[in-house]
């Protein structure tokens, strides 16, 4: 059970009269936007219709012009471009986007996506030396990495590379000595500090596109790579506001069109029609895990090749390979989760967990960390053996800055990096117990001695007369895509009576409730996903309130109202 907190700001007053009519939306939609901080009807209109015309110009981004100038100079000098990406969805889509743009302009280019187990994240000197010997020192262009790789960039420059770093991760105090660095986090004075790596790559290529037109005599339509931008941005779980909202909203339209064979076949392998319109959640939970599985258990090049190939036959084979890898990932994830959960259960007094398994797969531990956070609502580090050191992945809760916390443990770490709520680290095996104590102590100093209780932000109370109104539900769909920074609306019900409780699913892990609202007598179906162990059979017949998200369920061509249960309380 969570603590319910209503978002409404009483001192702000209601949304001005007439705005909903002016915008052509139900009143509840205008009220939601008003309570979420949009204070003019023009702001609301831009939010509801995030057109590409609202994208920021390249010179708004820190270091962007310098990066474009360096790339143009290197390309004019006849240098080949080596694109160094990452093994996750953001890094794969970013590298694919850059390669597609450069190839359009006939710029000789290759991609290197590091092997997660052999190379790890970011630039590494041995591979840079190998590539320099085999291909010669051209332009080394990073995407979704590089901002912390001081030594590797130094070595690349010694070998003769022109180095351009494009990244979005938190910059360290010492920046790498690259010829140019573009990263939205280098300055708060920019349109969107929370761009994903693929977002940075998009703006960089959009700016370079005009420069290359003078050389190739043609200009690429950058809208054709927005599918990659949406895919990488959604998978990287960045804030879906501002520039990210524009990119993702328009990119989802391109994913629906599926003109890219790789995406069409990936959608098919995920159980969708190739031309189906997908929501953000379907991309995050169906498409992205298959691409991530390539980097976790296989080679990220598999996903890169699938996204780049013009052949539907080749794309279909690669999509099936990724699906098989994802099935393997799920099995491994469940095993590690069970073992990690047992360790957590054995240490209930810890306010931060440091869990370790010698044979746990480093490509899966980040997902498991997220699942442990969901159960205990505490920061979690999960580590596994990686040669002579331990490699780990961490996830946190909103109240605790994980990157800042690891900074306070930096003297015992071999290396770390990441964001406020997700990070990676490396440590010597002999310091594992010391890290357990220090990590727990840092959390206690920051958050106090009492375990945190998760809260649930409720947007408003909504009676079933509104929740069953298709006009209202269609209006709420205009708020998509949902994600960090733009969460799905959650409403509190009026008092309800539970008529039926039914378990369903392969392992009967989901619950369906038939609930009737007191007063109106309106009865609706509510689904509680993965909550069978939290909603007992004794709930049947009880008087409750639901925290829920209403939506339209179209099954076999028949539309019906369905509530998604977020929490509940007995009255």
Three-class secondary structure assignment of 315-381: HHHHHHHHHHHHHHHHHHHHHHHHHHHHHHHCCCCCCCEEEEECCCCCCCHHHHHHHHHHHHCCCEE
Instruction: Judge whether residue 391 has pLDDT over 90.
Output: yes
3-class DSSP state of 152: helix
Structural domains of the chain, ranges and CATH numbers in brackets? 3-7+457-570 (2.40.50.460), 58-219 (3.90.1640.30), 347-447 (3.10.310.30)
Closest among 230, 264, 256, 257 to 245, alpha carbons compared? 230
CA distance 14 to 36: 12
Note the pLDDT tens digit of each residue in 105-119.
Answer: 999 999 999 998 889
φ and ψ of 148, to 5 deg: -110, 0
pLDDT bin (cut points 50, 70, 90) of residue 392 is: very high
Instruction: Judge whether residue 11 has pLDDT over 80.
Output: no
Region 149-161: what's the mean pLDDT? 98
CA distance 7 to 16: 18
Note the pLDDT of residue 460: 94
Note the pLDDT of residue 193: 93
Greater confidence (533 vs 141) lies with 141
CA distance 571 to 158: 70
* pLDDT, the chain, mean: 95
CA distance 283 to 306: 16
User: Which pair of structure tokens corresponds to residue 266?
Assistant: 């990936």
Note the pLDDT tens digit of each residue in 227-240.
Answer: 999 999 999 989 99
CA distance 389 to 416: 13
Residue with tokens 């302009």: 105
Region 533-559: what's the mean pLDDT? 92
Note the pLDDT of residue 530: 86
Q: How far is CA 59 from the centre of its chain?
A: 26
Closest among 409, 403, 363 to 382, alpha carbons compared? 363
Note the pLDDT tens digit of each residue in 441-452.
Answer: 999 999 999 889
Region 456-460: what's the mean pLDDT? 95
Helix axes 64-76, 197-216, angle to 10 degrees: 40
Greater confidence (559 vs 162) lies with 162
pLDDT bin (cut points 50, 70, 90) of residue 184 is: very high
Q: What percent of the chain has pLDDT over 70?
A: 100
pLDDT bin (cut points 50, 70, 90) of residue 8 is: confident
Note the pLDDT of residue 10: 67
35-49, 492-506, 552-566: least confident range: 552-566
Cα of first residue to Cα of last residue in the chain, in angstroms, is: 14
Region 158-162: what's the mean pLDDT? 98
Q: What percent of the chain has pLDDT over 90?
A: 90
CA distance 309 to 333: 30
Instruction: Judge whether residue 149 has pLDDT over 80.
Output: yes
Contact indicator for 202, 222 with CB cutoff of 8 Å: yes
Greater confidence (212 vs 170) lies with 212
pLDDT bin (cut points 50, 70, 90) of residue 354 is: very high
Instruction: Judge whether residue 387 has pLDDT over 90.
Output: no
Instruction: Judge whether residue 226 has pLDDT over 80.
Output: yes
Note the pLDDT of residue 117: 83
Instruction: Judge whether residue 466 has pLDDT over 80.
Output: yes
Closest among 133, 120, 117 to 82, alpha carbons compared? 133
CA distance 384 to 358: 5
Note the pLDDT tens digit of each residue in 251-285.
Answer: 999 999 999 999 999 999 999 999 999 999 999 99
Note the pLDDT tens digit of each residue in 469-490.
Answer: 999 999 999 999 999 899 999 9
User: Which pair of structure tokens corresponds to residue 548?
Assistant: 């829920």
Note the pLDDT of residue 120: 85
3-class DSSP state of 499: strand
Largest CA distance in the chain: 77
CA distance 297 to 308: 20
């Amino acid at each position: 059970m969570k603590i319910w907190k209503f978002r409404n700001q009483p001192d702000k007053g209601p949304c001005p009269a007439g705005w909903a009519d002016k915008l052509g939306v139900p009143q509840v939609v205008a009220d939601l936007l008003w309570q979420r901080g949009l204070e003019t009807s023009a702001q609301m209109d831009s939010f509801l219709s995030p057109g590409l015309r609202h994208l920021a110009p390249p010179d708004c981004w820190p270091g962007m012009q310098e990066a474009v100038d360096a790339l143009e100079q290197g390309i004019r000098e006849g240098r080949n471009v080596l694109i160094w990406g990452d093994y996750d969805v953001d890094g794969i889509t970013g590298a694919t986007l850059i390669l597609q743009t450069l190839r359009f302009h006939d710029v000789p280019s290759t991609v290197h996506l590091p092997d997660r187990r052999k190379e790890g994240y970011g630039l590494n000197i041995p591979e840079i030396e190998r590539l320099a010997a085999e291909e010669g020192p051209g332009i080394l262009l990073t995407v979704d990495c590089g901002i912390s790789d001081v030594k590797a960039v130094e070595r690349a420059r010694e070998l003769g590379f022109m180095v351009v770093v494009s990244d979005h991760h938190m910059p360290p105090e010492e920046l790498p000595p690259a010829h140019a660095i573009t990263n939205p986090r280098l300055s708060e004075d920019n349109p969107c500090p929370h761009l994903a790596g693929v977002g940075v790559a998009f703006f960089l290529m959009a700016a370079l596109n005009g420069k290359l037109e003078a050389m190739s005599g043609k200009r690429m339509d950058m809208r054709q790579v927005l599918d990659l931008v949406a895919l990488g941005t959604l998978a990287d779980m960045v804030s879906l506001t501002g520039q990210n909202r524009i990119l993702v909203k328009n990119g989802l339209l391109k994913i629906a069109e599926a003109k890219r064979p790789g995406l069409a076949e990936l959608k098919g392998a995920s159980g969708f029609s190739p031309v189906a319109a997908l929501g953000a959640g379907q991309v995050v939970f169906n498409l992205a895990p298959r691409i991530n599985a390539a980097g976790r258990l296989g080679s990220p090049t598999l996903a890169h090749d699938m996204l780049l190939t013009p052949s539907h036959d080749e794309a279909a084979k690669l999509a099936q390979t990724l699906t098989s890898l994802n099935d393997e990932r799920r099995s491994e994830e469940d095993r590690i989760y069970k073992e990690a959960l047992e360790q957590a259960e054995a240490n209930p007094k810890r306010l931060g967990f440091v869990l370790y398994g010698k044979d746990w797969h480093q490509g899966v531990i980040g997902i498991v960390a997220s699942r442990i956070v969901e159960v205990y609502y505490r920061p979690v580090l999960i580590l596994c053996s990686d040669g002579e050191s331990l490699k780990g992945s961490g996830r946190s809760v909103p109240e605790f800055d994980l990157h800042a916390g690891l900074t306070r443990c930096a003297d015992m770490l071999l290396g770390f990096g990441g964001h406020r709520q997700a990070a990676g680290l490396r440590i010597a095996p002999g310091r594992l117990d010391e890290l357990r104590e220090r990590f727990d102590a840092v959390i206690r100093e920051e958050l106090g001695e009492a375990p945190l209780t998760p809260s649930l932000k409720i947007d408003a109370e909504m009676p079933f007369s509104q929740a069953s109104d298709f006009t209202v539900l269609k209006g709420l769909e205009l708020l998509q895509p949902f994600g960090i920074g733009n969460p799905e609306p959650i409403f509190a019900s009026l008092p309800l009576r539970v008529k039926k409780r039914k378990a369903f699913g392969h392992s009967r892990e989901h619950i369906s409730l038939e609930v009737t609202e007191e007063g109106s007598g309106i009865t609706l179906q509510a689904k509680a996903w993965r909550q069978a162990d939290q909603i007992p059979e004794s709930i049947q017949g009880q008087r409750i309130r639901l925290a829920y998200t209403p939506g339209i369920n179209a099954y076999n061509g028949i539309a019906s109202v369905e509530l998604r249960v977020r929490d509940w309380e007995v009255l």
